[in-house]
Structure 1
Amino acid sequence: MVSLCTLLDLPHELLHQILLNVDPADLARVRLTCSFLDRYLRKNELLFKELYLQLWDEPVENASVSIGLTWEKRLQNAVWLQKILASDHVDSKLNDYQQVVHFITALLQVKNPTKSKNLNFFDEAFDKVNLDTLLCRSSLFEQAGDVTHVPADTEFERQLSAKLHCYYGIPIDPRGRKSKPTHPWARSLVYDLRNYDTNTMWGPFRADGSGRVDWEKVEAIMIVLGFNLKVLVEESDIPLGTLWAVRFRGAVPYSAPHLKPTLDNGLDLPLELRDPYGVTGTWLRVVCFLDYHDFYAFNFGSIPPADGGPRPPIDIREAIRFIKLGITVTKVEPPGPDDGQALPVVHFRGASRLMHAFWDPNANSELTGESPLPK
């Protein structure tokens, strides 16, 4: 009589292969079945690594944000995030909002954005519920959006939401009878001169002089640019195709084309290969601006809100310039004493040309410049 072999009688190699076919979300239940499987799974880093890499990318070295220090922790955190994003319960997403954003940011750090399991996972996970709940919590949605868009209670989480919206890369600008578009309020934030002084370094930075990015301002800039590009596509005959339709890919480090961050800048290499910034090439530039009279009236035509709140929305159309740049590297030299020392200074020249019918001497010009690495 032949005796049957039980699961626990199998060699560890076969048990390992069987467990590789278990959904990682079910591993906790497997550990509860008996003490043997509990001991087998405890700190089984090889199994956890293989299970993790079946679904997600291998973490990049020296990542600024970590999904976990061990393979077991990485797997647990990724599965937790997967469950949160798959849930229809808004409260479950908001109760641990900071943790959700942390893990999303960690998984956005991938080596190859064109072949990324992480980014494919986010493509499927970010449905309308997650977009409304996670990306629409900045101050902008106090005035804009619809009933599903509720700003966060704290400035920190409002900044996190704006940052995640920017990482997402597609401006959320709802249109409909029961919603208010974001672009008029975003335009109001962008053109409000109160937001630009020495403390903000005249840019989209915090007003405390720390130099930290103000993600709500960057979010507003993205929305304004997105709206104007859409108008340009709809009203011109320029074959631009679909713009800003790819999610999250622009948030990946070194995702810009032609960037060569680790290339040796030896003197025997051609100029283009010694350029770590990838300057040489054809670039498209979009410039949007208010008419001077509208800009002046918006900032000085009325008394600003006493509480420092936002000015009224701007519904006036902006001027748009779509410009094509052709740039070539002319010289690469070592950094000077006032430059960052990690990369060389790249000098370039080129030309810019307007791509639609309006003539603008500022858009059609010759270019010269240099690209040092800031300290």
Structure 2
Amino acid sequence: MAIRTPEFCSSLPVLDAKGKQSHSIIGTSDSRLRWREEAQRRTEAEKFLKNFGQIFDESNDKMSLRRFNSIATLLSLLVTTPPPSATIPRSRNISWIDKMLLPDKFAPEYFMRHFFHDADVRQSLTPDRQITAKLQVHYMTLAAQNRIAQDKVDLARLNARAYVYNIRNYRPEGWHGPFVLEDGVMQPNWVHLAACQWVISANVYQRQRVGHPYPTPPIGAEAAWRGSAPAEAISRKANPSRVTKDGIVDWAGVEGIWRRIVCFMDYRDFHEYNFHGHRTSGGLDTSVFTHPMFNEATRIITMVLRITHSMPGEAPFEHRPRLHFQGVSVANDTMISAVHGFVCMTPSGYVRWHLVTRYENDDRWVTEAVQIGEPGSAAGFIGTWTGNNHEPDDPAGPTWLWKIADVFQIPKDDALGSLNRNHFGFPEDEDGDEDDEGDEDDEEYDEEMDEDEDQDDEDEDEGGSMDGSDSEEGGYDEMPSLIHISTLYDLD
């Protein structure tokens, strides 16, 4: 995989036939963009998509180099597109991306090509699969999905579930999450992230069809645009410098209120799939996901976060220090837990979120996630959760978080500074490393998850198109109408 070019680099990457960058330098003192090269790349991509974009050859396992580079060009625009402003609320780059991905120019099957395979055969992470998965995560829309045959949509959902609930995909060398080490550089595993996104999206749309008012995560090119979150617009007016009251620059847009979706299987099904579903071919038996009694819960959570301190960023991202944060997580009026973690840049140029959920004095669950698009994007960040101690039989699943309100939208009597009282016993951990203490067993897992499983038993409705008719595509949430935020801190 290519190393991602930061926003201050002089040129965008040129890919070879293997999807590798022709040069590995990710930082340079030259701040000029090579306009001619970039114009040529975009012109070539537009010409190719106009003539051949609609062609989808399912029999060909490998994409042509021209198609690969056309998709790479579309994805590269997010890096060089500046955030919205009062004078430029809508980017022409984003409009061009939307135009290139219209059905008359681009075959929608390419958004899910990485999941069109035999469900029982383990697939390798080829550059072709990774780039179409990245395309799905950043630019997939309901309009594109609705043009894909239902049997392919169902196959994609099956393969996404099979991937995201397979504990073999949670490895120490990938931070126990959706990352993969390539050529000594940690990269996002876009196939894993696409599986997370598709599982969550399918579950949300399924529940909306039966009348549950589940929120729809923002999707599409504009949602992946830097600074596109509505809360970011509030912050740009109230605090243009993004400096917190403690003097820390909140470059990632951490402080405020976040919506979170978490999905998980019944642990008995999870255990059966991972420990008793082996096939002679080396893959796992995916029939558990098509069984009439299969159960998958979807939980809606609201979080409030504030930055506690920062640490220097690593080169070439010194301007983006590691931000450590604390907060609270609310599933309903009675299920309140503490969270802490950090956000930083990876060496390859992506935004990594590390989030730990804490019950009493036990760091129980850990989330590893990647920002969709650029910092401050409306789409937020997506990734995986699993046990904090990384035991062999720990459950795992997908999660998605997006910001719905900035700190300046929280009433003053609900000040986030009350977290300084440290009601939750956060570990004194300056490096944000995981706490090795804590114990978790199947009974604890079942106790916390059962109430959601009982509700989701009523929601299973596998058929039909996920048209999202009950919610606006990519709709943004209003301020949450939960318990008064100040009461979240008065727990002594």
Task: Provide TM-score, normalisation by structure 1.
Answer: 0.64
- The answer for the alignment partner of 2:457 in structure 1 is none
Q: What is the RMSD computed on CA atoms of the aligned residues?
A: 4.1
Count how many residue pairs are aligned between Structure 1 and Structure 2.
295
Three-state SS of the structure 2 residue aligned to 1:87 is helix
Q: Select 1:182's aligned residue among 156, 162, 166.
A: 156
- The answer for the alignment partner of 2:264 in structure 1 is 289
Q: Distance in 2 between matches of 1:248 and 1:337?
A: 28
Three-state SS of the structure 1 residue aligned to 2:43 is helix
Give 1:132 shift.
3.1
- The answer for the alignment partner of 1:196 in structure 2 is 170
Which sections of structure 1, spanning at least 5 residues, go unmatched?
A: 1-58, 145-151
Three-state SS of the structure 2 residue aligned to 1:212 is strand
* Alignment check: 8 A CA contact 1:65 1:105 kept: no
Alpha-carbon spacing, 1:169–1:367, altered in 2? closer, same or farther (3 Å):
farther
- The answer for the alignment partner of 1:35 in structure 2 is none
Which sections of structure 2, spanning at least 5 residues, go unmatched?
A: 1-5, 15-31, 58-62, 347-492
* Alignment check: 8 A CA contact 1:328 1:350 kept: yes
Three-state SS of the structure 2 residue aligned to 1:206 is strand
- The answer for the alignment partner of 1:248 in structure 2 is 221
More relative contact order in 1 or in 2 (CA 8 Å, sep 6+)? 2
Q: Select 2:132's aligned residue among 153, 157, 161.
A: 161
* Alignment check: 8 A CA contact 1:325 1:350 kept: yes
Matched, 1:321 2:285: no
* Alignment check: 8 A CA contact 1:60 1:111 kept: no
Give 1:274 shift.
4.3
Please give the residue correspondences for 1:63-212 in structure 2 after superposition, counting only pairs within 5 Å.
65=12, 70-88=34-52, 90=55, 94=64, 96-109=66-79, 110-112=81-83, 114-128=89-103, 130-132=106-108, 134-138=110-114, 140-143=115-118, 155-170=126-141, 172=145, 174=148, 176=150, 180-206=154-180, 210-212=185-187
Q: Distance in 2 between matches of 1:280 and 1:201?
A: 24
Three-state SS of the structure 2 residue aligned to 1:97 is helix
Three-state SS of the structure 1 residue aligned to 2:330 is strand
Three-state SS of the structure 1 residue aligned to 2:177 is coil
Alpha-carbon spacing, 1:255–1:87, altered in 2? closer, same or farther (3 Å):
same
Q: Distance in 2 between matches of 1:137 and 1:237?
A: 30
Task: Provide TM-score, normalisation by structure 2.
Answer: 0.50
- The answer for the alignment partner of 1:231 in structure 2 is 206
Q: Distance in 1 between matches of 2:128 and 2:328?
A: 43
Give 1:99 shift.
1.7
Q: Distance in 1 between matches of 2:171 and 2:98?
A: 39
Q: Distance in 2 between matches of 1:224 and 1:206?
A: 20
**Greater C-alpha radius of gyration:** 1
* Matching residue's letter, 1:187: R
Give 1:294 shift.
0.7
Alpha-carbon spacing, 1:271–1:211, altered in 2? closer, same or farther (3 Å):
same
Give 1:121 shift.
1.8
- The answer for the alignment partner of 2:401 in structure 1 is none
CA deviation map 1:298-346 (0-9, x unaligned): 111232443x4464252333111101123345x4x45289999655665
Q: Distance in 2 between matches of 1:368 and 1:136?
A: 33
Three-state SS of the structure 2 residue aligned to 1:303 is coil
- What percent of counterpart residues are identical? 23
Three-state SS of the structure 2 residue aligned to 1:286 is strand
